[in-house]
Amino acid sequence: AQSVTQLDSQVPVFEEAPVELRCNYSSSVSVYLFWYVQYPNQGLQLLLKYLSGSTLVKGINGFEAEFNKSQTSFHLRKPSVHISDTAEYFCAVSPVNSGGYQKVTFGIGTKLQVIP
Amino acid sequence: KAGVTQTPRYLIKTRGQQVTLSCSPISGHRSVSWYQQTPGQGLQFLFEYFSETQRNKGNFPGRFSGRQFSNSRSEMNVSTLELGDSALYLCASTLSGRVKNTGELFFGEGSRLTVL
């Protein structure tokens, strides 16, 4: 079984300031890790993913995340946010050997509000 | 390549009615999953279909059902609607082969259901 904890439900930040959205997970097996973004009245779209290799992953729109296995974390960062980054962000995990089954677990989401 | 298409995008029903939502996955994707999204609850997994068979189910009452057709298109049905069924219903597709299944999901824009 897996679980995902997003520590902040809302994060307000001023435009052009840096931001970090925190995600911790729990799993008895190795996992793949994802961050998705949801703009108002839209579905989720993939920001970035960690499958293997380098623990620093770069995604779209200038976001990056770092996988820390010892701390079971996958925090999302952006050095300078823009108004258009205002959205809800979801952290998710999926077991490496799922046998083809869809077993994705999502966090509760973090609403990022960028203040002009 | 066309994305995941969900219809209708918005609908309003009254208590006791039933509703059917449709999802066309990305071409070649054989797995379709459904999620219910409500404020404060995040994404709740409803069920997953693969090759016309339901192979995973979340913790929802029997009023929620689904099916998948031979072309991988999927429908979900909610009978005897309750006020609490008001939500954004998201469909996601994935390749879901037994090899190299990372769990990455491709979402539609959702169907927003309002129950009055």
Closest chain A residue to the Cα of B42, Cα to Cα: A108
pLDDT for residue B95: 78
C-alpha torsion angle, residues B7, B12, B18, B24 (rounded to 10): 10
pLDDT at A100 exceeding the cut of 70:
no
pLDDT(B100) > 80: no
Report yes or no: A73 and A23 within 8 Å, Cβ to Cβ.
yes
Average pLDDT, chain B: 91
pLDDT(B101) > 70: no
Residue B1: pLDDT band with limits 50, 70, 90: low
User: Cβ of A1 under 8 Å from any chain B Cβ?
Assistant: no
Name the pLDDT band for A101 (thresholds 50, 70, 90): low
Q: Select the more confidently predicted residue: B56 or A112.
A: A112
From chain A, the residues in CB contact with B106 under 8 A are 46
**Which residues have CB under 8 Å from A51's CB, separation 6+?**
A32, B102
Residue B25's pLDDT is 95
**Per-residue confidence (pLDDT) for residue A56, from 0 to 100:** 95
CB-based contact, A100 to chain B, within 8 Å: yes
Report yes or no: B42 at the A interface, CB cutoff 8 Å: yes
At residue B97 the predicted structure's pLDDT band, cuts being 50, 70 and 90, is low
With beta carbons less than 8 A apart as the criterion, state whether A84 and A23 touch: no
Note whether A102 contacts B112, CB cutoff 8 Å. Answer: no
DSSP A9: S
Q: What is the pLDDT of residues A1-57, one digit of tens each?
A: 789 999 999 999 999 999 999 999 999 888 899 999 999 888 999 999 998 888 999
According to DSSP, residue B83 is labeled G
Nearest Cα residue to A47 out of A33, A57, A60: A60
In 3D space, the residue among A101, A5, A109 whose CA is nearest the CA of residue A47 turns out to be A109
Q: Is B32 on the interface with A (CB under 8 A)?
A: no
Q: Find out whether A23 and A74 touch, Cβ atoms under 8 Å.
A: yes
Residue B74 has pLDDT above 80, yes or no: yes
pLDDT, residue A1, reads 78
Q: What's the confidence (pLDDT) of residue B2? A: 76
